[in-house]
Amino acid sequence: MTPATPSPIFPGHALPSDPAAAPADADAVLDGLDPEQREVALALHGPVCVLAGAGTGKTRAITHRIAYGVRAGILQPASVLAVTFTNRAAGEMRGRLRRLGATGVQARTFHSAALRQLQYFWPRAVGGQLPRLVDRKAPLVAEAATRCRLRLDRSELRDVTGEIEWAKVTQTVPEEYPAAAGAARRSSPRDPAETARIYAVYEQLKRERGVIDFEDVLLLTVGVLQERQDVAEEVRRQYQHFVVDEYQDVSPLQQRLLGLWLGERNSLCVVGDPSQTIYSFTGATPDHLLDFRSRHPGATVVRLIRDYRSTPQVVHLANGLLAQASGRAAEHRLELVSQRAAGPEPVFTEYADEPSEAEGTTRRIRELLDAGASAAEIAVLYRINAQSESYEQALADQGIPYQLRGAERFFERPEVREAGLLLRGAARAGEATDPSLAGADLPGQVRAVLSTRGWTGEPPVGSGAVRDRWESLAALVRLAEDFARARPAATLADFVTELAERASVQHAPPVEGVTLASLHAAKGLEWDAVFLVGLTEGMMPITYAVSEEQIEEERRLLYVGVTRARVHLGLSWSLSRTPGGRGGRRPSRFLDGLRPGSGTQVPGSVPRRLSAVAGVERGAPPRRKRVPARCRVCGRTLTDAGEMKLMRCEDCPSELDEGLYRRLLEWREERAAELSQPAFCLFTDKTLMAIAETVPASAGELAVIPGVRRRKLDRFGAEILALCSGAEPSSEPAAESSGG
């Protein structure tokens, strides 16, 4: 790897803040870029795909690409449209472009760009004024449910609204929703047929009132561009060069709009990382990024792997985590190389119970603060928002300021406030007026009250608002159990007083403090110190992640969490929920081979030394050497994932047994149907093609083919070898997911 040029932005130095200090000319724009970033900046013609790992400076690369093109006179500023997913990211991009002297370039979100075009062209294309855009669709969804004679509580309303949004971005009409939701394994909050009815009436209500929602902005823009060729040509004359950031998060509807903007041209640069795909539940898919070279065979592909954010120790752990991954995204994973000085080892800590984990994490945060760290540069990240309460309390007990990101403070959540009112009313009324409280202990009384608002002994299936609401109520039940254990004679009134005291401590005005956030809410952010907590089976991966695709998205979610840390990284789990409880929990499977004492080290990690300081296990791994993959025909080094799967160059002669390949495809379709899995989850087309080219005669020969991992070899090896020998495969029904 060519050494990187010292950069004025990594770490700790800002670019000039005023236009007068912008680079002197186009060549000066390239100063400070590393070799791969420079390659991106110079690739101004034809389709370009930038695979950019976490912390590799992707925004820097694409803004310098645009600025270089503008300053060199190759790109006209007004002809460039840079698209990203959040207003914050678009604003940051515009600011960087201004500082680089590239004013006049449009940097917008998909919705913002589409809305602007729709407002401009609507009078000509449709007539009249554009319908009013509703800020919140939930009230209309609630009214639609009422018209359907269905009553939705707050949680169901949020989930049904989310399902309608998913349906629209995947271009699913109401009558097709039940089948589409089933195929996508959606956990619908109501019967899919009921959701479809609500969806249909919601659309009818909008038409009656002449309003549109945010998804309609994209749908209507697509419709105008498809129906009015003159409008499409005018847009294409205006915008001739496109840049799309976070391309792994593009939905089918956004991709369709992008295609209409682009037309038959190929001046497109996309940037993304399939290993950071964590929003598939909203309709986002990495397929457009992964299939980019198939759609654009002559595309320039640049991989950014120099990590300027994290220390070698953090990067090594992130690489090891992805080394265990499977599926399409894993085939395109990037092995990062840290550009920072060495730092402390990631710390793996096992606790006896959840309160101990919260207290232990808080102690480590206090140590960092005492050593001079800023509270704003520390984060505690968890899988679901309901986990925040114990950390809120532990930090409050130590007087450490904190802020919640992406969720209400625990005692401000509507379901918690409602539960508090119900418990207060039950405490005042007493057992005489509520038979369900008679004879029950304190936890039993709390369960009885909260069961009227959705708490059950078992968690609901699936994710979303229903699960979040249950988790909040379950946290109150656990709190009652802990309170009764500490004060056996406590009454319901005592517990209500305890809740009020806790709430008063945590209702302080927002302050700059330690960030508490879910892993999803942490995407795009970074801190000096990150604590990943609650890493047990059932939470990471979450219990409702059952298919191989869902499990792999959970792994990517943890990867995103790991790569948020610049220097300090802590990973922890607890064996029991409560003190003195049965310690039957297991650490997350994703840590196997990474945490010391967890067995065979996975590729990307090496045996670590153990330390017993404060129950912490540490390791200091050197970087491993990678053996290059070579074409089995011509011997050339292979870099493309598809070629590595085939073990040959795409244009080298193939000895494909077409009959065997056809039989393998037919077998895969049948087995995928039996397992209720997408076909590619068993084996990709490339893997089956490689099998049909090599025609293995033994398990050993089959095992060396990329894509045939141990679990798949054990599960399907005999069937594949039977097909290769010309025999008919025999299989037993699978009891579990066979992906691996």
- Strand-pairing partners, residue 304, are 52
Q: Is 206 annotated as a binding residue?
A: no
Cα gap 410→468, rounded to integer Å: 11
- Structure-block tokens of residue 716: 């399907």
Do 330 and 322 form a contact (C-beta atoms < 8 A)? yes
Cα gap 233→260, rounded to integer Å: 10
Backbone dihedral region of 372: left (phi > 0), alpha (psi from -120 to 50 degrees) or beta? left
Q: Is 635 annotated as a binding residue?
A: no
Q: Is 58 annotated as a binding residue?
A: yes
Residue 565, helix vs strand vs coil: strand
- What type of residue is 425? G
Q: Is 59 annotated as a binding residue?
A: yes
Helices (H), 100-153: 110-125, 138-147
Cα gap 574→584, rounded to integer Å: 10
Q: Is 272 annotated as a binding residue?
A: no
Do 610 and 597 form a contact (C-beta atoms < 8 A)? yes
Backbone dihedral region of 82: left (phi > 0), alpha (psi from -120 to 50 degrees) or beta? beta
Give burial (CB, 10 Å; 0-12/13-18/19+) of 182: exposed
Task: Give the side-chain half-sphere CA count within 13 A for 706.
Answer: 20
Q: Which of 16, 7, 72 is nearest to 34 (CA)?
A: 7
Q: Is 580 annotated as a binding residue?
A: no
Neighbours of 343 (CB within 10 A): 18
- Structure-block tokens of residue 651: 């244009």
Distances (CA, A) of 160 to 197, 252, 270, 464, 520: 11, 20, 32, 10, 20
- Strand-pairing partners, residue 529, are 378, 568
Do 373 and 567 form a contact (C-beta atoms < 8 A)? no
Cα gap 70→96, rounded to integer Å: 14
Cα gap 40→62, rounded to integer Å: 7
Provide the annotated binding site. 52-59
Provide the annotated binding site for ATP. 52-59
